Chain A
């Protein structure tokens, strides 16, 4: 083959999985490695994975760029890498094609949120989540969304499409591409061992591999069992071997290099694959053993396992988890060298003809090529992307400014009418509160006025945002302006009005208590956070209220309730600060972060933490909302 030196740039593929070499070895990893190596003339492959072992973030493994995200260990067989989704989202735009190796819920999270739509996605379905039923129930909607968005789904055998309900829903885009094995790796002269009773098994030491069944099967028999692989079941298996008294015949060899494993495959007499659940979808190791010309003993799972090595031809298939029958099947093969030889030949022939690496590479390449060509809505589709952030903000500001000017056109005082209204409210509330509080009411007036100004800002921004998109339907649909502009416009417009209102507290403060400015400076960061939170709320609630019209009344009544249950008109000493309503109410803290420094000069740390946590949730929601707003024109 002539190396493809095309003038065109190689397309770049991002492989998305939970772990990669050199942190672990296993079937799925060798599949990814083979895809990367097999298609390297056409696709430049990168891998984004998690890693428990710190170390370098970017490494190169077999010419493949691997980026590793720090994980803090495994929870429910999933890496606990909180930053993975973020990193994935940032990497998506750098590649032409995404290849997700499922199941991997951390990545599903990104796709389910509708992020990274700009790039075509191919899902390699390696297995279903079998061992954690509860987790699966939560993750299934995410997986479904990912699959719905995918261009193609690749499985190793057609039987998986039939037997996996989730895949049946998307049967029309599922493709069965059987894995391949390089038979030449197993051409070795040392194809015999002296004793003729060596049973080999390979795989990570995890429960679904069923090695405990194999150990039990060895009880009271004659054969030797060597198990290659490492994993969290090691201790337990060691214990089991000791308890059953088969220590002399059953050995755990730990993990071995590929070449050593291939040598063992060639000298073994029988290869056993005792897997007990459908998590074993294909059994790449049994294919390797077939390439080495070994007879197989496997289990009758609902997956490709008994179809790769077929009962009576290349294998003896026994029910999963049945150690008695497993032992018997192995014994019968050990006792019959001729049948073993016969089956081994058949196995090697099948591996060579049906499961070649070439066919695998070609199959994947075709699917990748089609996926990359039939790209999802691509390139520059939305004008929101064409109008940058800065121009968008400028347009929003211009719109807000003209709104405010228009108030002055209608009346001489303009927005100051509202300020006067607020001044009256402050006066009335101040006198009322003065009656049932012993503290000096007059001294508290500036803070009361400021709190009311801030609340009016937040309240009117959110209310404004719920109708903003509908009111600007013409600009969105006829002038193709990005919808987010009009939510920003609400914040800017109400910000301008709030500056008018701020005259009331400012005058009160100057007249009643012109003290040092130190507190005011310390309060500024808190005030900034307050405004950012308001912005986030307006984005999220504004978009949601446009999509779901019944939200508007709910938001309105919630705002009234929030006003009454928050310390806005109530001053801190008037209410029981420890009450759980006050402590849990986010508004309490949202006000505390700038009011405390202003009143006392101290920063309320618990409130700051609470607000920052809330802000990060709001930030994520805002990012999702902005992605969703692409569709806003359909809603109005």
Chain B
């Protein structure tokens, strides 16, 4: 059963300036007795989220409001500074736009490699099935990814990432570059994933997209939750979301 539970989670993001990457400077600074602590910025400020299977949560907010950082925190990329995080279920994070694709490799190899990374054994049949979903030309399978446009790349990566059911799917600015046709298809697939007891969290600036795909929208600003809008009527799926301001 997929479940995300964040209680008063804070993240202090260390700000490494050019000098903070220098060991020599650090050692000299220590000898001179002027080793100040690293400057940090509170990227996530006591956020509490509870989400159970079936929830589709949209994260909205201006640039630098902590959307991506929150997704990375849930994915386990950044360790939290304080607070309590409990995540049940396997997480499938698709955050940056290339999300680990190697642009030099041909598309089929990338699909195989990405499947291996998520612990699946790639077979010819699975790769072909994924390729069918992308609706791209069969021959393009053998082309390096650097030849692909960003929308085409996104199709390949999305199809690969959602080929197998994941418990928790984290998407950052993902469905905004693909065309409407594929977008509708992707939404269908997301709904199908959610119906298989999954949690989907999407961060986007596209309010329309969030309203179409999500059951609730959390607005963030400067690392804090501003408000939570529930779009209950849209969905018939079971869904629970609580938000506590600390």
A572 is an interface residue with CB less than 8 A from chain B? no
Query: Are A550 and B77 in touch, CB under 8 angstroms?
Result: no
Query: Are B85 and A381 in touch, CB under 8 angstroms?
Result: yes
Chain A interface mostly: helix
Q: Which bracket fits the contact residues of A? A: 35 or more
Query: Are B98 and A630 in touch, CB under 8 angstroms?
Result: no
Given A377-B81, A398-B116, A406-B105, also A480-B21 (CB < 8 A)? no
Query: Are B76 and A384 in touch, CB under 8 angstroms?
Result: yes
CB-CB < 8 A to B232: which residues of A?
none
CB-CB < 8 A to A406: which residues of B?
104-105, 109
Q: Which bracket fits the contact residues of B? A: 35 or more
A479 is an interface residue with CB less than 8 A from chain B? yes
Chain B nearest CB from A486 CB (Å) reads 11
A427 is an interface residue with CB less than 8 A from chain B? no
B207 is an interface residue with CB less than 8 A from chain A? no
Expressed in whole angstroms, the Cα–Cα distance for A395 and B100 within the complex equals 13
A399 is an interface residue with CB less than 8 A from chain B? yes
Query: Are A383 and B91 in touch, CB under 8 angstroms?
Result: yes
Given A386-B76, A402-B113, A633-B72, also A474-B99 (CB < 8 A)? yes
Partner of B85, one of A378, A405, A479: A378
Smallest CB gap from A548: residue in B: B23
Tell me the total A-B contact number using a CB cutoff of 8 A: 114
A512 is an interface residue with CB less than 8 A from chain B? no
Query: Are A382 and B76 in touch, CB under 8 angstroms?
Result: yes
CB-CB < 8 A to B172: which residues of A?
478
Q: Per-position contact with A for B196-238: 1 when CB-CB < 8 Å, else 0?
A: 0000000000000000000000000000000000000000000
CB-CB < 8 A to A245: which residues of B?
none
A635 is an interface residue with CB less than 8 A from chain B? yes
Smallest CB gap from B106: residue in A: A409
A356 is an interface residue with CB less than 8 A from chain B? no
CB-CB < 8 A to A380: which residues of B?
76, 85-87
CB-CB < 8 A to B94: which residues of A?
478-479
Given A375-B84, A377-B85, A480-B75, also A474-B100 (CB < 8 A)? yes
State which residues 301-341 of A face B: CB under 8 Å.
none
Query: Are A391 and B14 in touch, CB under 8 angstroms?
Result: no
CB-CB < 8 A to B85: which residues of A?
377-381
Query: Are A479 and B117 in touch, CB under 8 angstroms?
Result: yes
CB-CB < 8 A to A251: which residues of B?
none
Expressed in whole angstroms, the Cα–Cα distance for A376 and B24 within the complex equals 32
B141 is an interface residue with CB less than 8 A from chain A? no
CB-CB < 8 A to B87: which residues of A?
380
A374 is an interface residue with CB less than 8 A from chain B? yes
Smallest CB gap from B18: residue in A: A549
State which residues 384-440 of A face B: CB under 8 Å.
384-386, 391, 394-395, 398-399, 402, 405-406
CB-CB < 8 A to A395: which residues of B?
116-117, 119
Expressed in whole angstroms, the Cα–Cα distance for A391 and B90 within the complex equals 13
Query: Are A478 and B95 in touch, CB under 8 angstroms?
Result: yes
B83 is an interface residue with CB less than 8 A from chain A? yes
A217 is an interface residue with CB less than 8 A from chain B? no
Partner of B91, one of A385, A386, A550, A551: A386
Expressed in whole angstroms, the Cα–Cα distance for A294 and B95 within the complex equals 71
Smallest CB gap from A485: residue in B: B117
Query: Are B77 and A551 in touch, CB under 8 angstroms?
Result: no
Given A377-B80, A379-B86, A383-B91, also A479-B100 (CB < 8 A)? yes
Expressed in whole angstroms, the Cα–Cα distance for A380 and B86 within the complex equals 6
CB-CB < 8 A to A384: which residues of B?
76
Expressed in whole angstroms, the Cα–Cα distance for A548 and B29 within the complex equals 14
CB-CB < 8 A to A349: which residues of B?
none
Query: Are B93 and A478 in touch, CB under 8 angstroms?
Result: yes
Expressed in whole angstroms, the Cα–Cα distance for A399 and B112 within the complex equals 10
Query: Are A377 and B91 in touch, CB under 8 angstroms?
Result: no
A87 is an interface residue with CB less than 8 A from chain B? no
B148 is an interface residue with CB less than 8 A from chain A? no
Chain B nearest CB from A307 CB (Å) reads 34
A-B contact pairs, 12 of them (CB 8 A): A378-B84, A380-B86, A380-B87, A381-B79, A383-B91, A402-B109, A406-B105, A477-B72, A480-B91, A550-B22, A633-B72, A633-B77
Excluding A380-B87, A381-B76, A630-B79, 15 further A-B contacts by CB distance (< 8 Å) are A378-B86, A380-B85, A386-B76, A386-B90, A386-B91, A402-B112, A406-B105, A406-B109, A474-B100, A474-B101, A477-B77, A477-B96, A480-B95, A548-B21, A550-B25
Q: Which A residues are closer than 8 A to B by beta carbons?
A: 374-386, 391, 394-395, 398-399, 402, 405-406, 474-481, 544, 547-551, 630-631, 633-635
Q: Which A-B residue pairs are the 7 nearest by beta carbons?
A: A383-B76, A548-B23, A478-B96, A480-B75, A478-B95, A475-B100, A398-B116
